[in-house]
Structure 1
Amino acid sequence: MTARTLTSQKIITAAKELVCADTALTFANLGRHLGTKSQAIYPYYSDVAAVHIAIANDFFQRLVSQLQQDLVGLAGEPAISQFAKTCRQLAAAEFPIVQLILNMPVATKRVGTLKESIDQVYHVLERLLAPFNQDEAHQLVVSRMIRNLIIGEIVHEGTGRFQNPAMSAESSFNQMLALALTSFDTQSG
């Protein structure tokens, strides 16, 4: 691949392929995967950490886009439930990418475009929860509970911990989500 045909999106696509193939994400590996020299990547990304940030941004932007599609016409508990299910589905489908994001330093996720991308997802949930809550503290607790449920599910399912044949991971997730929403109803209003 010549420098003229290389783009930041092609680099991110190749980087995601390496991550999903459990191949070390280095400029040397990335260059080989792209069929170019590693030096050709530097005009686009200064280092591997910048590539990680771009991968995370890409994930969160796609998640926001999917949420916008999946939440059309929904409100209340069905919308909150769909929010959780959409997050779980995309993250489960791309678990190696999610692992990369979870392993990124917290400070990296709290600045710049990555913070903005993550905040977009949080704002969607906050808007869905706002009509049900009378105070910020309660909304924060409910928001954290739902996010913990989603992230816990992703981590446990992705690492193979939910293999009990008595109940599928999806079924238990749906039941836990319903319990969380029921608990939320009794605390609101």
Structure 2
Amino acid sequence: MSHGPALAPDATTGRRPHPVGASRRTGWVMLLAGAVGWLASFQLTVDDWRLLHDPSYQPPCNISPIVSCGSVMSSPQGSLLSFPNMLLGLGAFAAVTALGLAVLTGARLHRRLWLALDAGALAGVAFVHWLIGQSLYELNKICPYCAVVWVVTIALFWYLTLHCLERGIVPVPRGVLEVVRDTHWMLLGAWYGVIMLLVLTRFWPYWSSLL
């Protein structure tokens, strides 16, 4: 009795690929990072649409001359691919949220899909760090909703990569895997700490004026 076409052997290993499950930690990170990132992207989209129709509109995230979203959204950096950056977030974070929910309910994803997710998250992290540099040293602004997207994108990439290492999707020496697995939360904290330090030092006169 036929159960459908068999999967073709993997070109590199010669073995038939098998779906790969994930820990609940990975599923929760995908679900929460995707949902929070989508909500931040949605709010930016709404504010951008309102600004387009009413240039005098003041988004609620325009808190001060330094903490502001409006001027960031209307800048060239806010539409790098000739359309608002937040539209990329709406699509990408929606897909991640759906896949996170599927993983939490027991779904096993193809190895190539995990690799594609991790590669997409890597591209997102590279883009986020470019935006961080532009925000700090070109636009001289911090957009609160953008900062939320920075945080969840980094966490998503970090834990997708950890998942790929732990499941052997991305092969690494066992010693490297053990170090990363044992210190993953410290390394992520250090990553965030460097970004926070850059933000603090770049705008220190403003932060100190609030004390």
Give the alignment's TM-score, normalised by structure 2.
Answer: 0.33
Pick 1 or 2: higher relative contact order, CA cutoff 8 A, min separation 6: 2
Give the alignment's TM-score, normalised by structure 1.
Answer: 0.35
More helix by share: 1
Q: Tell which structure's C-alpha radius of gyration is larger.
A: 2
